Amino acid sequence: MIDFLVIDSIADFSIINKCRSNIIDNYLLMLTKFLKNLNLNIKYINATTNLNFNTGFLKLLLERDKPQNIIISCNYNNIINIQHLIRNINYGINIYLFSRNAKEIKVFEGDNSNYKVIEFVENMSIDENLRKIINELNVSENVNLQKYSPDYWEILKPLKNYSIGLNIGTGCQRMCSYCNIKCSKIDLIDIELLKEEVKYVLNQGSQFFHILNHSLIYNIDYVKQLCNFIDNQFNSSMFSWSCFIVPEKVIKNLEIFKILKSSKLERIEIGVEHVNKQILKHYNISSSKQDIKKIVKYANEINFTSIAINYVIGSEFESIETLNELVLFSKELIEIAPGKVEFNLYYYFDENDCEKNITYSNANGYKKLYPLFTKSKIDHNYLLGFKGTFFTTLQGEMKKSLKNIDLNKRRQHFSLACNEFQTQYYIYFLSKSSGVSVRGATMKNPHLKYSWEINDDIFDYTPIVYTKLVYNNNKPIFIIDRLFYDKSFLELNEFEFTIYYESRGLNSLNEISESLIKKFPKKNPKEIKREMLVFFKKLEFYDILMFNKLLV
């Protein structure tokens, strides 16, 4: 019998999917380590190492280890999956969901909830949080809290198998593609704590880390202290790192790029967000097109390997003209930094409006929010199509720019952009929580592509869907648990459900279409293929699908 079973990094355990993304929370690791130091019998499970983590597997653990308590890391992205996992647990076990935002989790609680939410509160100190949580767990009274240290990392050794994202605090003073909030308080952790974590991670052999938050560049002295520490302590080590750049904070101090470069920073993300003047004003952003060009030109001159440009589209002032303005400006940036610049495209939503549009059904326990493009006057389908058009257009420009770029440099760029960095990026940053994201280096697949990246026959590819299917009053529904759509549902009609059902497993689009033609003999085969591609475009739009070409 054990005292606590701690389960971390559960994402979509409802299907066997090698493309899952997972998050490991350093504060949960800290709590686990602290409980172990109280001489409690603790078992920690990192679900990233077990792709088949499902209800049956959990029941086997419960029967074998007989824990008195379970702690499960939880956020808005995986709450419904976790409810499914624990719904049938009747062992008299105390179930605790560890969360960064209890309000987000509690909206899913029904009359029959068999768990309690324990929250790590952002504006409380680490010691205060630990004391509060320990009291909620009824572990012990008057325990002596130990000094904060990164020793909790030992649970994950060896760290060299992971890409690490380090939390430095919260807040920004303008629209940000990470948190989609126009203004929030800047709150950085103590620089000595950050140095301690960087030192520990690099000493364990990690070859890549990323500063998770967008607030780093707001304090230039903070940046200099970090860079000087890295440069002095790890100048001969083999690693690289990346961070987010707020353009209006560096335009008058571009020399900071040289300091960053000397400390082995190889990738920067620039929060451009948009280039239209009216939209920039709405986003509370003061940088101009000329500022961005100047920053990209300078970053290219000092030889950063990768320069990522972030855009946020879909505000109430968005129009076809403003979207075209983004495309034209992006082409200019490609010319300024050929082979180095890349683009990330995100969608604007008004969080307050989303909360107003909630409908909740006690009958089935599901929370439903309306589509999040409530502000944009552009047709929803046009925004859907723009994402593909945007990348298809720029892909041609980028290919031209790559002709004169050294192949090794291109491979280095690809490694930073795809292998290491983006494995964390899409899930972690947009979840609006803090902590440490960790992604196993063995779970990468360079053959995964979006449809607009496919130049050969797309029907030779297999669709990989990053979500699960549930039933609500006999209607199939997708739970959208990625990006900003983690709060949305997509209801399927009969034909779409059949497409999804046939796409489970390893079927190519050709195999799926052949099966659909047999099931719907009255439909035109060409129309079936067209509708099938339209359906998968919808899923791509929600960032829950990519394509994989199986190697024979």
Rounded Cα distance, 284 and 182, in Å: 7
Residues 401 and 482 in one domain: no
Are 345 and 313 contacting, i.e. CB atoms less than 8 angstroms apart? yes
What does the pLDDT average to over 158-175?
69
360 and 485, same domain (yes or no)? no
pLDDT of residue 227: 96
Do residues 293 and 434 both lie within one domain? yes
Give yes or no for residue 198 having a pLDDT over 70: yes
Confidence of residue 12 (pLDDT cuts 50, 70, 90): very low
The predicted structure's pLDDT at residue 146: 55
User: Is the same domain home to 194 and 246?
Assistant: yes
Distance CA 486, CA 430 (A): 10
Rounded to an integer, the average pLDDT of 448-476 is: 69
> What tokens appear for 204 in the block?
């364990």
Mean residue pLDDT across the chain = 71
First-residue to last-residue Cα distance in the chain: 47
Q: What percent of the chain has pLDDT over 90?
A: 15
Q: How confident is the model at residue 422 (pLDDT cuts 50, 70, 90)?
A: very low
Nearest alpha-carbon partner for 122 in 167, 62, 80, 163: 167
537 and 469 part of one domain: yes
pLDDT of residue 333: 94
Report if residue 154 sits inside a domain.
no
Q: How far apart are CA 170 and CA 163, in angstroms?
A: 21
Q: Residue 539: what pLDDT?
A: 74
Q: What tokens appear for 427 in the block? A: 């899930």
Q: What angle do CA 213, 331, 306 make, to 5 degrees?
A: 40
- Note whether 383 and 431 are same-domain residues: yes
Instruction: Report the alpha-carbon distance of residue 335 to residue 500 in Å, rounded.
Output: 41
Higher pLDDT, 401 or 293: 293
Between CA 319 and CA 274 the distance in angstroms is 12
d(CA 519, CA 197) in angstroms, rounded, equals 57
Please say if the pLDDT value at position 231 is more than 80: yes
pLDDT score for 403: 64
In DSSP terms, 359 is beta-bridged to 368
Answer yes or no: pTM beyond 0.85.
Answer: no
How far is it, in rounded angstroms, from Cα 221 to Cα 191?
A: 10
Same domain as 307, residue 216: yes
Residue 374 has pLDDT above 60, yes or no: no
Q: What are phi and psi of 320, to 5 degrees?
A: -60, -35
Structure tokens at 202: 């690099």
Q: Is 495 among the domain residues? A: yes
Is residue 84 in some structural domain?
A: yes
Please give the angle made by the CA atoms of 40, 66 and 41, to the nearest 5 degrees.
10
* 109-125 confidence digits (pLDDT tens): 554 567 888 887 766 77
- Collapsed DSSP state (helix, strand, coil) of residue 515: helix
Predicted pLDDT of residue 363: 33
Show Cβ contacts of residue 424 under 8 Å, excluding neighbours closer than 6 positions: 163, 165, 210, 437, 438, 439
Residue where the block lists tokens 């075209």: 324
Q: Say whether both 124 and 170 belong to one domain.
A: no
Specify the 3-state DSSP secondary structure of 51: coil
Give the separation between CA 136 and CA 96, rounded to whole angstroms.
10
Which of 19-28, 39-48, 71-80 is the most confident on average? 39-48
Assess whether pLDDT exceeds 50 at residue 163: yes
One domain, residues 260 and 315: yes
Judge whether 305 lies within some domain. yes
Q: Are residues 176 and 130 in the same domain?
A: no
Q: What are phi and psi of 226, to 5 degrees?
A: -65, -45
Q: Which of 174-188, 225-239, 303-317 has the highest mean pLDDT?
A: 225-239
Quick one: 432 and 500 in the same domain? no
User: Mean of the pLDDT values across residues 80-96?
Assistant: 73
| Higher pLDDT, residue 60 or 143 | 60
Range of the domain at 457: 452-548
Identify whether residues 170 and 121 lie together within a single domain.
no
Label residues 318-353 b or e (16+ Cβ within 10 Å = b): beeebbebbeebbeebbebbbbbbbbbbbbbbbeee
Tell me the per-residue pLDDT of 307-332, one tens digit each, with 9 for 90 and over: 888 888 888 888 999 999 999 999 99
Domain at 271, CATH number: 3.80.30.20
Does the residue 345 lie in any domain? yes
pLDDT band for position 11 (cuts 50, 70, 90): very low
CATH of the domain at 47: 3.40.50.280
Number of domains forming the structure of the chain: 3
CA–CA separation, 472 and 479 (whole Å): 11
Three-state secondary structure of 100-158: CCHHHHHCCCCCCCCCEEEECCCCCCHHHHHHHHHHHCCCCCCCCCCCCCHHHHHHHCC
Strand partners, 70: 5, 95
Backbone angles phi, psi at 154, to 5 degrees: -60, -20
- SS3 call for 265: strand
Mean pLDDT of 412-435: 33
Q: Is residue 145 in a domain?
A: no
Could you give the angle at the alpha carbon of 50 between the alpha carbons of 48 and 53, nearest 5°? 105
Across the range 216-222, mean pLDDT stands at 87
In a domain? residue 490: yes
Q: What is the mean pLDDT of residues 141-163?
A: 62
Q: Average pLDDT for residues 458-464, to the nearest whole number?
A: 83
Q: What is the pLDDT of residue 16?
A: 28
The answer to whether residue 144 is domain-embedded is: no
The gap from C-alpha 371 to its chain's centroid, in whole angstroms, comes to 19
3-state secondary structure of 527: helix
CA distances from 245 to 100, 119, 176, 211, 212 (A): 25, 30, 11, 11, 11
Rounded CA gap, 271 and 177, in Å? 7
Distance in angstroms (rounded) separating the CA atoms of residues 296 and 342: 11
Q: Is the dihedral of CA 167, 173, 178, 180 positive or negative?
A: positive
